[in-house]
Amino acid sequence: MMRGPRCQKGVAAIVAILIVALAASSATYLIARYSLALRHVENVTDRAQADQLARTAVQWVASILNQDKDRAADHLFEIWALPLPPIPAEDATVEGRIFDEQGKFNLNNLVQQGKSSAQDVATLERLFAALKVDPRLIDALIDWIDENEDVTQPQGAESTSYLGLQVPYRAANTKLTDVGELARIKGFDQDVIEKLLPFVTALPRQTKVNINTVSAELLQAIAPALSDEDAKQIIAKRTKDKRSLAREDVVSRLPKDVQEAVGNMIDIRSEFFSAAGMVRRGRVVAGYRALLERGSGKQTSVIALTEEPI
């Protein structure tokens, strides 16, 4: 049966509509893909510029530390300890804060000259106990840092403890480079690490604890002869006076037989600081942390720069 001209025109119209619909769909798909690709390029560009801004911001933070002319003491009422307000920079904002890393316990102090330091181990045991963390975990921490494969009793862990894991690895047998490395050590789960983070650090050489920035918990771990009241008075004094404490403010409150030992663990100045910052640019929000060293000279050097989760 032959179709009439009217029927043929209807079919042609339908085909034309389908072609237009297909073309529109294809155009929409291509535009969406192009927009996605364009957004990806923008995000990559924003990320690259955020990274560059972070590095610039770190140098800016270092310059703030360099402005501190009184190197004899470092305390929480100096310019470096003030929060940095959001600063506009190249279509972005940068904000952050500087922290004194020597207000914390340096985990690398646990091993000195190839052997565990009894005084530092005892200090960390007391800190762990105060934070309700099992002090026996320190054995595995010592084994991770020391240079040998001898297991520290009773809860140590050398390479043999890690090589049997699903993803095997060896004990580092060297200093910690970052506190985050604790996650690789036997027994240090996320809960333990979160409890420890405000109180411990990992610095490249042996350091003393700055009593101007130390927490009450760590202060009492260093000097267990201090009563709760004495510790509170020391913390209150540095807040009230808004200036540096003297070492004697701590040492004079201790029995004479422990004054020298505790005195050798504390100081009123610092060389290591960290800068935590956040960069916002476009859709990118990135956090960064830098470890800074300020030596006896005027310049502050950047030891490490890492990205931190927001």
Give the domain ranges of the chain.
Answer: 1-104+271-310, 106-197, 208-266
Q: Which fold has domain 106-197?
A: Ribonucleotide Reductase Protein R1; domain 1 (1.10.40)
Determine the pLDDT at residue 45.
65
SS3 of the chain: CCCCHHHHHHHHHHHHHHHHHHHHHHHHHHHHHHHHHHHHHHHHHHHHHHHHHHHHHHHHHHHHHHCCCCCCCCCCCCHHHCCEEEEECCCEEEEEEEEEHHHCEEHHHHEECCEECHHHHHHHHHHHHHCCCCCCHHHHHHHHHCCCCCCCCCCCCCHHHHCCCCCCCCCCCCCCCCHHHHHHCCCCCHHHHHHHCCCEECCCCCCCEECCCCCHHHHHHHCCCCCHHHHHHHHHHHHHHCCCCCCHHHHCCCCHHHHHHHHCCEECCCCEEEEEEEEEECCEEEEEEEEEEECCCCCEEEEEEEEECC
pTM of the model: 0.82
Rounded mean pLDDT, 47-63: 72
Determine the pLDDT at residue 113.
92
Tell me if 215 sits within 8 A of 241, measured CB to CB: no
Which residues neighbour 147 within 8 Å (Cβ) at sequence distance 6 or greater?
Answer: 114, 173, 174
Could you check whether the bond before residue 154 is cis, i.e. omega within 30 degrees of 0? yes
Structure-token pair, residue 149? 């494969």
Spatial separation of the C-alpha atoms in residues 281 and 215, rounded to whole Å: 35
Structure-token pair, residue 106? 């340096």
Q: Which fold has domain 1-104+271-310?
A: Pantoate--beta-alanine Ligase; Chain: A,domain 2 (3.30.1300)
pLDDT in tens, 254-289: 999 999 999 999 999 999 999 888 787 777 777 788
For residue 40, what pLDDT band results from cuts at 50, 70 and 90?
low
Tell me if 288 sits within 8 A of 229, measured CB to CB: no
- Residues paired with 209 in a beta bridge: 266
User: In the chain, pLDDT over 70 holds for what percent of residues?
Assistant: 84
Rounded mean pLDDT, 33-62: 66
Determine the pLDDT at residue 244.
94
- The residue among 124 and 281 whose pLDDT is bigger is 124
Would you say residue 72 has pLDDT above 80? yes
Structure-token pair, residue 214? 């130390």
